[in-house]
Chains A and B, each alone.
Chain A
Amino acid sequence: MDLIFEGILKAFHLLFTLDPEVLGITLLSLQVSGTATLISLFVGISIGTMVALAEFPGRRLVVSLINTGMGLPPVVVGLFVTIFLWRNGPLGFLEILYTPAAMIAAQAVIATPIVMGITLAAIQALPKKLRLQILALGATRLQMVWILVKEARLPLLAGVMAGFGGVISEVGASIMVGGNIKGYSRVLTTATVMETSRGNFDIAIALGIILLLLAYCINLVLTHIQQRERPR
């Protein structure tokens, strides 16, 4: 018991004194996962909306692929991103393996299908007549898509949160393509894994608390969105 109690005490000390290492790790985590999420938003929302509105043969297959992608195992993503970025891999010339850039790439691959799947569901959940109403208001196709995305903004925000939540807590891919290099590519999850294996529970707990706090904030927003009612 002492171990846990002491660990928690030390953890709070590290947090409140703004320990430079913990702070650096946290900021890098936010930066890497934030950028990856941003990329996934552009790709995910545009393709998700397109698939939701378009009708084409094989649409069901595409939708099921996107939904499968929502549960992509991070280690598998890590494996393939590593292969692609390997010195003589197809993207080896970029020379970004074991850099934060590689981590952003891997996390974007993980987050994109999540955002895409949620966008798809959100746009499809809007009443079909809403599209007719928007067109009847004189909208061009582009204006219609924009208004629909605005109407679905809350579920889309949920998508953002889910995407961000997915990548900030992910460890497999980050360790594989980032290498957990101190002060360079070490993020909350990879640091927690390492410190735990070394028996430095105080730092591990501090990092764990930060992760939990982030998870809590994300869920707070999600719950708020879920509880809202639709306009008439």
Chain B
Amino acid sequence: MITPPPLLTVKDLRVRRGGVRVLEIPSLIVEEGSILSLIGPNGGGKTTLLQTLACLIRAEDGEFFFKGEKVSSSHGLLQYRRRLAMVFQEPMLFDTTVFRNVASGLKIRGMDRSEIEKRVKQNLQRFGISHLVDRSARKISGGEAQRAALARALAIQPEILFLDEPFASLDPPTRESLMEDLEKILRQTNTTTIFATHDRMEALRLSDRIAVMNQGRILQIGPPDEVMNQPGDEFIASFVGVETILAGRVVRKGRGTFIAAIDGKEVEAVGEVEIGEPVVFCIRPENVTLAVPPYPEATSARNVFPAMITKIVPLGLYYKINLDCGFPLVAYVTGHSLENLSLQEGQVVSASFKATAIHVIRKTNKAPFPYSTKIAAVNDRGESSDSPFL
């Protein structure tokens, strides 16, 4: 049996704007029915990638296949655009009723009235805005408007959906309820989705895969837990919520474990490395445990340090504790623990973390980053190719 080609295949895509290269994607494959999140700072290229994939921006170079068929300006551009949908951060509704807004994509396709009516009704219902059907798009709230925008996109029954920070300008409760509904609808309809966000929690919730982008490149792509727990470098680590990033050098090796010196302290971690090799340790704040005297006698944590609390920052449900153990360390504790341990700034406590809780990034030889095996960069240039554009 021949396996069908992936829904979307991108090769050597490059976009230039005002003489500056703003996007460079050697390879990207999106499988049918999957949800891919693009996370990264603003200006990292997420929007550019989405708009290029939707053929709204002209690519300088590169090829791009939809279900194995090449998409280019001369061939199949409109047909391709009619198989996708896009939702922006701003709802971008038209100055008419909600019904007509949701119907607009179908009307553009020349669908007949009864079918339009059926699809609009279904999608208004899905997004819980049936009661707004005859209201003017000017007179609904921000959350309702974004629901209408999503309903308009899904009414088309797109084969691929591009979402460009659709929740970014909504308040938290509105965002929460909309995200919940959207997730359900995307799974129900099995809609292939590429979703840009700068909020890693949104990405964690919605996606099958996460791609971290910065400066127009995909730095790492993989399943959410892989990207979260095994970031490929310091930038990714800091972006996915690793609070403690420490540079050190391997001083001793044991069986499967090793010890690295970090600011004069010895920290034990797991991994195969060479003595003398520079390494970076990533420690997630939720993996750091704090204790006050009397200390427990035995612990499975291999790394225990006396630490001074330099700062306590409330973060809503929990507190972020900045520690100085000779090297900086960050821990999260709940309000309950903070009270129980009566933690205060300036106090000395015992901070511990397991050797296995450390994600090690090797800085010498081209150690395989988690992503380099997943996306094989297609580097053979020289083949001139049409690029997709407006």
CB interface residues, B 96-127, toward A, < 8 Å: 104-105, 108-109
Q: With A136-B84, A232-B142 in contact, is A151–B91 under 8 Å at CB?
A: no
Q: How far is the CA of A138 from the CA of B106 in the complex (A)?
A: 9
Q: B81 near A: Cβ within 8 Å?
A: yes
Pairwise interchain contact B105-A137, C-beta atoms closer than 8 A = yes
Contacts of B91 in A (CB 8 A): 232
Q: B196 near A: Cβ within 8 Å?
A: no
Q: B226 near A: Cβ within 8 Å?
A: no
Q: How far is the CA of A230 from the CA of B94 in the complex (A)?
A: 9
Contacts of B54 in A (CB 8 A): 136
Pairwise interchain contact B81-A127, C-beta atoms closer than 8 A = no
Q: B65 near A: Cβ within 8 Å?
A: no
CB interface residues, A 123-144, toward B, < 8 Å: 127, 129-130, 132-133, 135-140, 143
Partner of B156, one of A133, A138, A229, A231: A138
Q: A147 near B: Cβ within 8 Å?
A: yes
Q: B390 near A: Cβ within 8 Å?
A: yes
Q: How far is the CA of A125 from the CA of B276 in the complex (A)?
A: 62
Pairwise interchain contact A147-B51, C-beta atoms closer than 8 A = no
Q: How far is the CA of A140 from the CA of B82 in the complex (A)?
A: 10
Q: With A127-B92, A135-B81, A138-B156 in contact, is A232–B137 under 8 Å at CB?
A: yes
Partner of B90, one of A127, A136, A140: A127
Shortest CB-to-CB span from A131 to chain B, Å, is 9
Count: A-B pairs, CB below 8 Å? 66
Q: With A129-B90, A135-B390, A136-B54 in contact, is A231–B138 under 8 Å at CB?
A: yes
Q: Which residue of A lies closest to B109 (CB)?
A: A138
Q: How far is the CA of A147 from the CA of B138 in the complex (A)?
A: 17
Pairwise interchain contact A137-B104, C-beta atoms closer than 8 A = yes
Q: How far is the CA of A230 from the CA of B105 in the complex (A)?
A: 21
Q: Which residue of A lies closest to B54 (CB)?
A: A136
Instruction: Count B-side interface residues using an 8 Å CB cutoff.
Output: 30
Contacts of B94 in A (CB 8 A): 147, 150-151, 231
Pairwise interchain contact A229-B138, C-beta atoms closer than 8 A = yes
Contacts of A133 in B (CB 8 A): 86, 88, 92
Contacts of B145 in A (CB 8 A): 231-232
Q: B140 near A: Cβ within 8 Å?
A: yes
With most chain B CB atoms within 10 A of its CB, the pick from A136, A153, A154 is A136
Partner of B137, one of A135, A153, A231: A231
Q: How far is the CA of A136 from the CA of B86 in the complex (A)?
A: 6
Q: How far is the CA of A26 from the CA of B93 in the complex (A)?
A: 42
Contacts of A143 in B (CB 8 A): 108
Pairwise interchain contact A232-B108, C-beta atoms closer than 8 A = no
Pairwise interchain contact B108-A231, C-beta atoms closer than 8 A = no
Q: With A132-B51, A136-B86, A137-B105 in contact, is A232–B81 under 8 Å at CB?
A: no
Shortest CB-to-CB span from B305 to chain A, Å, is 51
Q: Which residue of B lies closest to A135 (CB)?
A: B56
Contacts of B267 in A (CB 8 A): none
Contacts of B81 in A (CB 8 A): 135-136, 138
With most chain B CB atoms within 10 A of its CB, the pick from A127, A129, A137, A140 is A137
Pairwise interchain contact B105-A138, C-beta atoms closer than 8 A = yes
With most chain B CB atoms within 10 A of its CB, the pick from A147, A228, A231, A232 is A232
Contacts of B351 in A (CB 8 A): none
Shortest CB-to-CB span from B151 to chain A, Å, is 13
Q: How large is the interface on A (under 10, 10 to 19, 20 to 34, 35 or more residues)?
A: 20 to 34
Q: How far is the CA of A57 from the CA of B140 in the complex (A)?
A: 41
CB interface residues, B 359-386, toward A, < 8 Å: none
Shortest CB-to-CB span from B101 to chain A, Å, is 9
Contacts of A135 in B (CB 8 A): 56, 81, 390
Q: B136 near A: Cβ within 8 Å?
A: yes
Contacts of B162 in A (CB 8 A): 136
Shortest CB-to-CB span from B184 to chain A, Å, is 23
Contacts of A139 in B (CB 8 A): 108
Contacts of A147 in B (CB 8 A): 94, 104
Q: With A137-B156, A229-B138, A232-B137 in contact, is A130–B78 under 8 Å at CB?
A: no
With most chain B CB atoms within 10 A of its CB, the pick from A127, A138, A153, A230 is A138
Shortest CB-to-CB span from A148 to chain B, Å, is 10
Q: Which residue of B lies closest to A229 (CB)?
A: B138
Q: Which residue of A lies closest to B79 (CB)?
A: A138
Contacts of B137 in A (CB 8 A): 231-232
Contacts of A228 in B (CB 8 A): 138
Q: B171 near A: Cβ within 8 Å?
A: no
Contacts of B93 in A (CB 8 A): 231-232
Partner of A230, one of B51, B78, B95: B95
Q: With A135-B56, A140-B78, A231-B95 in contact, is A129–B108 under 8 Å at CB?
A: no
Contact residues of B with A, CB < 8 Å?
Answer: 51, 54, 56, 78, 81-82, 84-86, 88, 90-95, 104-105, 108-109, 136-138, 140, 142, 145, 152, 156, 162, 390
25 contacts between A and B (CB under 8 A): A129-B90, A132-B51, A132-B86, A132-B88, A133-B86, A133-B92, A135-B56, A137-B104, A137-B105, A137-B108, A137-B152, A138-B108, A138-B109, A139-B108, A140-B78, A147-B94, A151-B95, A229-B138, A230-B138, A231-B95, A231-B137, A232-B90, A232-B91, A232-B137, A232-B138
Closest 10 CB pairs of A and B: A136-B86, A138-B82, A232-B145, A133-B92, A231-B137, A137-B105, A231-B138, A231-B95, A132-B56, A139-B108
- A137-B152, A150-B94 known; 7 new pairs, CB 8 Å cut-off, are A129-B92, A136-B81, A137-B108, A138-B82, A147-B94, A231-B95, A232-B93
